[in-house]
Amino acid sequence: MIKEAERQKDSTLFEGMTSINAILRSIDEGSTRRITKIWFDKAKRNSKGREYAFLKGVSERYGFELLDAEAEFIDDMAVGNTHGGVIALCTKREIPRLSNDTILKDKGFYVMIEGIEDPYNFGYALRTLYAAGVDGVILPERNWMSAAGVVCRASAGASELMSTYVADPLFACESFRKRSYKVVCAGIRDSVSVFDADLTYPVFLIVGGEKRGISAAVMQKADLTVRIDYGREFKGSLSAASAASVLAYEVFRQNR
């Protein structure tokens, strides 16, 4: 239960080589996050010698300490159990605010997601959006990026690699409309099936959470409202992460 609660806390502890490799790549691409220390299970130095040698080789370049540790120490520090014997302590990452001067792709695909209640689901959504070719995500002020380690692990590193901005939803709509983007909201009222909608680039897609959805003020800014049709009668709704996945891949399909 303690570990379960810890996953929603602010954290800059990253677990596993997938997360660490994503951070190293993100640093090369301009991220402000830095690795300060990496602890490696000394009992795994032989079985994971290539990983250890790699980290030792790049430690000076990226400016972090590589420390041996007991397995019990790493298990106590980690929230999950898929760390593979390696964890990293990092600095915070600065996420820029979206402004009218922010350089974005002319014919791109950006997504705003809000209202996801769990950092793992948030990470799963980012993983799919990244895989679907989304150029960047816009987040509201309150989001799960502070639980960075959990989100990175759930997203298989995508959260550190995705271009990310913070913005008020209404401002984001106006900013993208000024750039000739089609503003598309996920909803039911006055909607068309996502499979029948014209979702050619440039697209700014907004997906709300299961509980609160998208505010009426934001819905009024939409050029188009799309829904996900079901294959059978179903009174429930998809999770925000699942809905974002379906919608993003339909946009990808239409523009591939």
Where in the chain are the domains? 2-90, 109-255
Q: Running along the chain, 256 residues long, what does each successive block of 10 average in pLDDT?
A: 53 95 98 98 96 98 98 93 94 96 96 88 96 97 91 96 96 97 95 98 92 86 96 90 96 97
What torsion do the CA atoms of 27, 28, 30, 36 make, to the nearest 10 degrees? 20
Give the pLDDT score at 82.
Answer: 85
Q: Which residues contact 142 (CB under 8 A, 6 or more apart)?
A: none
Q: What is the largest CA-CA distance in the chain?
A: 61
Tell me the CATH number for domain 109-255.
Answer: 3.40.1280.10
Cα–Cα distances (Å) from 254 to 90, 110, 197, in that order, read: 39, 15, 10
Same CATH fold, 109-255 and 2-90?
Answer: no
- Return d(Cα 21, Cα 90) in angstroms, integer: 13
Q: What CA–CA distances, in Å, run from 194 to 2, 3, 153, 199, 217?
A: 41, 39, 30, 8, 21
Per-residue model confidence (pLDDT) at position 3: 52
- CATH code of the region 2-90: 3.30.1330
Other residues' Cβ atoms within 10 Å of the Cβ of residue 65:
11
**pLDDT reported for residue 195:** 97
